[in-house]
Chains A and B, each alone.
Chain A
Amino acid sequence: MDSFFDLRNNDGYLVCISSFVLFCILMSCPVFGGSFAAAPGTIAFENMLKSGYAETEIFANNPEDVPVDVEIIAEGQIAEWLSFYPESLVLGSHSTGESLVIIRPPWDAANGQYEGTITLVSRPRYKPTHDVQYGLNIETAVILKVSAEVVGEQIVDYSVADMSLESVEVGYGVPLTFSGKNDGNVRVTPKIIIDVYDSNQSVVVLSKNMTADSVMPTVKKTETINIPTESLSVGQYWANISVSVFDEIIYMEMITFDILEEGALLLSGDFVQLISNRPWSSPEDIVRLDAIFMNTGQMSANVKFKGEVYLDDELIDIIESDEMFSDVGSIINLTMYYVPELVGTYRVEGIVYYSGKSTYTKGTVLNVFSDTQNNNFLVEYKYLITMASVLFLIFFSMKVFGGIFGRPKGDMDAISQKYQNIDKSFDDATRKGERLKRKIRHMKYSRR
């Protein structure tokens, strides 16, 4: 015993250490059971044609701590119709893999419904074995149920999405990338017509008809084709792209691209955003605008922002920053100030120019409203005060001077009657005077 623990006894010391290390290794070995999963539980292939085609994906999930081999087995009526890519899987610990299932009904399949199964069997790659007299080794599996419908009607259903063009240097073709999905039950071969216009979109400088790769039923495919633009000179262009299937146009879009100078792609930048410090402000407020530019190229550049200010979609002003130097990999703020004078919704948008190149347009919105909190009482109610003053003057004058409109009709009638009575009295007095004159003349004649 003493000799075993005597450190000078190397054999005992080594046995002790080795045992301890082996113990640690065994205790850290991954533990595994028989856990396995697959999806989807049921697969339905509908509206298939004889000699037709369809595909889908199946997924296998390994929740174990050790890698597993997955065998894929087709059974049932449609076993011969099914094929798998890949035919088997190797899944790492805690990972998911997929296999493409392709079904091809034979040319002589009758219309109707067919059934089958796909069994995925999981077998751990590393599994300890034990010597037992009577024992069973357990393996786990998942069965996916499959149905297929064979019909006689052709269905054409193809759609396009995510179409884009890249800008290239002069002398190169422009790559056109697009995604298409065939939801019908027949193969389709998309035809692509490309008309390239100049920067004003007025003159066609290039026309090309191209054919994309065929797309089988149920397949979604992304494809890139090259537009032969090698003869185009430097400048901006517009491509009108239409996609047709069986002579029917199913997609159309106008996309812009640039032919750049040789070496221009070394100079690259990104207009990150145009931001204001006061998206909500009042007239006469000073609003600060920052155009944030990131130099993503391999050369430094002199940068400057130029933009336009719109109010209710009408151009009312232009705005630009000072020119600044942008080093490779740097992010800089191009700062400007703007004072909106009128109330309304302003749209500010522009481009960052960097050493002869320009970015995409970006912008922001300024909401300018009247700030009623800063007005004093007289300014706020000046209209009301003014109208009240005017009305007061009018009624005061009418009261003091007895204006026409305020005099009651009854008084006017009385005054008028008075004047008429006076007038009548004068008439009576005149008549009496005339009669007196005639009497005096008669008396004079009588005395002669």
Chain B
Amino acid sequence: MLNHFKQKENDVFMNKLLYILAILSISVILLDGTNVIADGANDDLTASVSIGSSAPTVGAISCVGGETFTLNSETTKLVNCSATITDLNGYQDINSVRGAFYSSAGEGDAADTRDNYKNATCVFTEAGTGTTRDAECSFTVYFHANPTSWTVYMNATDDGDDTGTNTVAATVNSLVALNVTETEINFGEVALGATSSEITTNIKNTGNVDIDLNINETLYNGYMNCTDVASDDIQTDAASTGIRYNTTNGFTFADTVWNVTATNALADVSWVEADQNGAPTAPTTPLYWLIKLPADGLTGSCSTTIRIAAAESS
């Protein structure tokens, strides 16, 4: 009897085992048919791969004429720089390029015509191939930009708004420049032994450095030549006569030591450069002139050449 019960127990167990195996088989068929599992050589295992946007890179930057720039007096200079942009998603993914030109102040600082130019005009210069495309940026630089080390910066953006940047070191030369608004000084009619009326010349600093002036007579070795053969010549730096100048309006002849010689050194007065943050205006400083004639010995008309030379202030 016991064996009969045991046999029955075994039969029930086997039936349950068969049901479970059937369910497992159905499950395998379902999973295999929908490619959840790949158990054979002909099964495809489909995987989802996300193609990420690769950020563009900016290659080495080079500028027309090299990376040392000499500016133009009292106006602007166009600086052109270019680079090759690379994007592993293809050149067609490269969307735009922008540029900046700045000195030690840094690219993120506010625009300033002395040390930070942001309004670069950037264009693609060729059609592109593979993963690369060439671009060029132009900067309009004012005459008073700081003479120091600068950085050319280029930034590329692709269609996925990813960006890449690069920089190159550059140099702006010191530009020593002046504009003497008058080309001649006419003292008019002056009586012998008398002092002329004050004559004004205006001198502008049109460069990017402070300048010192060197004012000398250069034609007759320290004399004004008088046309009458019988006349004496006028010594420009005599003790109590000659030609003198000053930066102060209404100065008296005897009170100033700045006389015109043939061998003057640089005058100890600096003409400062323009310092505006926007479009600059060259600063103007007047210079006042007097001539005092000897009491006698002069006839006819007398003239010479004065050279006003500028040098970078030490």
Known contacts A134-B291, A141-B309, A143-B310; A386/B176 CB under 8 A: no
User: A119 to B243, alpha carbons, bound, how many Å?
Assistant: 23
Known contacts A140-B178, A364-B90; A394/B306 CB under 8 A: no
**B130 & A369 in contact (Cβ 8 Å cutoff):** no
**A37 & B181 in contact (Cβ 8 Å cutoff):** no
Contact residue among A39, A347, A390, A404 (Cβ-Cβ distance under 8 Å from B31): A390
Known contacts A37-B176, A343-B51, A394-B27; A136/B305 CB under 8 A: yes
Interface: A147 (CB within 8 A):
no
Cβ of A96: which chain B residues have Cβ within 8 Å of it?
70, 72
Interface: A383 (CB within 8 A):
yes
User: A50 to B72, alpha carbons, bound, how many Å?
Assistant: 36
**B190 & A133 in contact (Cβ 8 Å cutoff):** yes
**B184 & A63 in contact (Cβ 8 Å cutoff):** no
Proximity string of chain A (390-407) to chain B, C-beta cutoff 8 Å, 1 when within and 0 when not: 100110010001111000
**B189 & A133 in contact (Cβ 8 Å cutoff):** yes
Cβ of B16: which chain A residues have Cβ within 8 Å of it?
401-404
**B70 & A59 in contact (Cβ 8 Å cutoff):** yes
**B304 & A365 in contact (Cβ 8 Å cutoff):** no
Known contacts A143-B214, A394-B27, A397-B19; A137/B304 CB under 8 A: yes
**A365 & B182 in contact (Cβ 8 Å cutoff):** no
Cβ of B173: which chain A residues have Cβ within 8 Å of it?
39-41, 59
**B89 & A136 in contact (Cβ 8 Å cutoff):** no
CB contacts under 8 Å to A, within B102-151, are 127-131, 147
User: A40 to B175, alpha carbons, bound, how many Å?
Assistant: 6
Contact residue among B88, B130, B180 (Cβ-Cβ distance under 8 Å from A34): B180
User: A279 to B186, alpha carbons, bound, how many Å?
Assistant: 75
**B183 & A369 in contact (Cβ 8 Å cutoff):** no
Among the interface residues A143, A397, A423, which one has the most CB atoms of the partner chain B within 10 A?
A: A143
- The interface-forming segment of A152-160, A235-243, A269-277 is A269-277
Cβ of B303: which chain A residues have Cβ within 8 Å of it?
132, 134-137
Give min CB distance, B129 to chain A, whole Å. 4
Give min CB distance, B96 to chain A, whole Å. 16
Chain B residue at minimal CB-CB distance from A420: B2
User: A364 to B73, alpha carbons, bound, how many Å?
Assistant: 47
Main secondary structure of the interface of A (DSSP, over half): strand
Interface: B302 (CB within 8 A):
yes
**A419 & B2 in contact (Cβ 8 Å cutoff):** yes
Interface: A306 (CB within 8 A):
no
Cβ of B302: which chain A residues have Cβ within 8 Å of it?
133-135
CB contacts under 8 Å to B, within A326-348, are 343-345, 347
Cβ of A124: which chain B residues have Cβ within 8 Å of it?
183
Known contacts A390-B30, A426-B2; A134/B183 CB under 8 A: no
Give min CB distance, A340 to chain B, whole Å. 11
Cβ of B177: which chain A residues have Cβ within 8 Å of it?
35-38, 61, 142
Proximity string of chain A (1-45) to chain B, C-beta cutoff 8 Å, 1 when within and 0 when not: 000000000000000000000000000000011111111111000
**Residues of B with Cβ closer than 8 Å to A?**
1-2, 5-6, 13, 16, 19-20, 23, 26-27, 30-31, 34, 36, 48-51, 70-75, 88-93, 127-131, 147, 159, 173-190, 196, 201, 206-207, 209, 214, 218-219, 224, 234, 243, 266, 289, 291, 293, 301-312
Q: Can you spell out 23 A-B residue pairs with CB atoms less than 8 angstroms apart?
A: A35-B73, A35-B206, A39-B174, A39-B175, A40-B147, A40-B174, A41-B209, A63-B74, A134-B187, A134-B224, A134-B301, A136-B224, A136-B304, A138-B184, A273-B128, A345-B51, A364-B91, A368-B51, A369-B50, A397-B23, A419-B5, A422-B1, A423-B2
